[in-house]
Chain A
Amino acid sequence: MPTRQADQWTANPESLRGRIAAYGDRHGRPLYAAFRGWVATRPRLARWLLAGPVAIVAGLLFTAAMPVWLPAGSAGVDGLVWSLVLGPLVWALALLYGVLEANLMRGFALFGAVAVLSALLIAGAML
């Protein structure tokens, strides 16, 4: 059976990737398991959070980061304009997705990824 590329990367426990993998095993997996368990026991509350504050925060961060990664256009202000104009549409779609997503963990993962990436872009632009 062929070894997966990721396994090869993390095979050496002394390497940086190996240490990150080991850290993830010690802290990340239990945290993920605990959150997954919490979502499973309180799906209704998790849904309210996903389609409410989580969707709003992720939508706001996504909108705020738009001028950073969108092209400025010939006027040099397109990134700002698209963000101004499309903001409410993004928020409405985020709320709709939060209500519709069948897999709550996938919803949290997607919103989390969007929020973290957007926050990194914003931090990079402000620093």
Chain B
Amino acid sequence: MLKRKRKVEDFGNEIQAHIALEAEELQREGLSEKEAWRRARIEFGSAQVARERFYLRSRIAGIDNLMRDVRFAFRQLGRNPGFAFTAILVLALGIAASVAIFAFVDAALIKPLPYQDPNRLVMLFESIPLGPRFHLSYPDYLDWKRDNKTFSSLEVFEPYGFMMNTPDGLRQADGARVSAGFFRTLGVKPILGRDFYDGEDMPKAPRTTLLSYSAWQKRYGGNSGVIGKPVTLDGNTYIIIGVLPRSFSFAPAEPADFWSILEPSKCRGCHGLYGVARLKPGVSFATAFADITTIAQKLARQYSDSNRDQVAYMLPLTQVIVGDIKPVLLVALIGAALLLLIASVNVASLLLVRAESRKREMAVRGALGAPRRRLIAQFVTEGLLLSLIGSALGLLLAQQGMHLLTLLIPKDMRIAMPFFVGIGLNVRVIAFAFLLAVLAGALFTFAPLGRFRFMRMHESLVEGGRTSSSALWRKFGSNLVVIELATAMVLLVGAGLLTRSLYRLLHTDIGIEPDHIAMVRVQAQPRKYSDNTTQANLVREILHRVNALPGVLSAGVTTKLPIEDADWTSGFDIIGRPDDHQHREVAVRFVTPGYMSTLKTKLDSGRYFSSDEDVSKPLVVIINQAMARQYFPEEDPVGKQICFGGDQKHPMSIVGVLSDIQEGQLDAAPRGAMYIPFFQNTNSGFVVLVRTARDDRAFLPTLTAAVQSVDPGMALYQPMTMDQKIHDAPATYLHRSTAWLVGGFAVVALLLGVVGLYGVIAYSVGQRRREIGVRMALGAQRSAVYRMIFFESGRLIAVGIAIGIVCAISAATLMRKLLFGVHAWDAATIFTVAFILALASLLASFLPARRAATVNPTEALRTE
């Protein structure tokens, strides 16, 4: 009901009228006009005071009451510090978890990417039978760019590791190569210098590069005189023409210090580029996808040798950048929300208990004339005060939590997720926290208020008057506990499934023994080591020195490590088999014989390479089981000959079949791969691996020094162990972080749920002391009392767990993307979790049950 506020002015008029009427009456009684007015004014007292009192009544009194309520609420909390501390801490933890996770969700999924109109940007790929996200070739890019009618611009880029000449020798420098209009497509302008101009990617133009903001700071100290300076990359001189904005990052090519221009290539079969394009205004994603698909189909017909089975593939840029982390974040957010739910319910039931014990206080105040409104205001103030303090503390904790969580992300992953840089409290996060505070405040207000409403005042005044209202509360309180237990169940099952997934992931057979492997990447100067002889000699010398190191069991070299992306692929033909227009493509790795003995791979059939298999010997190849299954079904591949696509002049004999090494990500399906002797196909860039008898991590400096001693001019980078590589792999990280986060939430949830149950049972026992006393006085055994209490709690636990199982299975089905090697309805996990929760809950109800059973009947009956 809206109350119309009366204006002070109107009230003033009324007073004037009063005085006038009084004066008139006094005049009628015989006073002179002047005297009558004087008397009337005096009689009334000060009109001003009356006005002030009217004003105070309507306005100040409200504020005064509020202050009194706040002071009283503080006193109430202070009188029961245990309660206040628990409630605030529980709430703060719940809010902190939710807000911290929300900050990550905000950074990745809500905050727009640092480009102009990022939702209109797409990334283009060519998909091949091996998978959808493979690269374009330069001529394909030109055709796509020319023939499409749906993109306002279409550009390409490739992540690229430059070799940079420094005074200390050759060093690896992260970079990317882009076509001229790349930054204009993104809508990014350099903060210093200029962008590439159209045509700058033509061969005659001088080589130029842009710097990332961090490279400008780190390598050039933020000096603006850097524009026009030369830098030597890959032995060529590049001119620095500009610096990119600080906010700029482009995850698919990160980390990148140098953004240089791409050189055109005529090789249609050389795939190394990713496309990025901006949709024309009004053009839908589907229309553009159809357009680019048609173009790719036309190219596949036109260039059937190189483009066979090359299909266009397109994804929104946002999805490419945040797609992997999205399910993790959503699961974590839901986990945090559930935790907050438990926390709030817990605090609410604490407040309920308190409301129960304060009902007499309320009844007395009501009887003394306190308006209902004021009593309710008291509850509101206390609820809000609690949620306000809890939220403020939660916000502080959240800020710390965010930084802690960022530190837990491995460095490589952090680079791939640049949107998490500078995560913190922003307007949206604070607004979210505020929303939570309001919701919690409302819950804390209405839970005890609801209780208060049911209560009949005079009933509460009577000591022992706890009949109907207590039963009602018991019902309400126990419903809350069922919610808590069910929520805890959901979180625990989620955590259990994720942990099992992680375990399965880390214990999948990756075809190698990853322990005690130390590795370092090497890039030799391409000019100095340009042919097979020099490259082979370099690698032989490196292996010789490394093998001589104490503690080294074996050493090997490969061009690409396992558990990375499935790049470095090639089409191949089977000699002697008619061309069936089937596109065959597998991953290709060039390895020394020591590679396989170092990783302790398993041979399925045939033999390994021998150490003298070089260019002077017949060409040989080892294929993996996946390739054998796919391309040589029901026949023995050993002895068959294959060649690279179209290169019939150089047939390679298959000498062995290897058990699959996990070449792609840990959670990827096995893919076809072939291994070719390094000495038959050398390269100036490779990875050196050793198996050591010592601690692999401690061995890294020794390894690096020994390799570097062969030629100080080589660039050595990313020394690491295989265990580290597996541990830090994106798939492992995603699974581990979710398992840890949800696991952490689940443990807290378990604790809160059990404490909540304890509270309800303990309260119920406290209320039923007299009843229990009577029962025992009438001859009930202690065991019967135990049974009674356990029956009560057992019912709650059973209902909570049953609801929890149903919810948990549906929740797990929703997150099956994050599960690996385990079903959403994994019976073992659900059973274990239910057992743990039931056990913990029964334990929590044992304490009050024992207190009930040890009730002294005479004492219990006497207390009232």
A, B from the same assembly? no
Query: Which residue numbers of A lie inside 8 Å of B, CB to CB?
Result: none
Query: Which residue numbers of B lie inside 8 Å of A, CB to CB?
Result: none
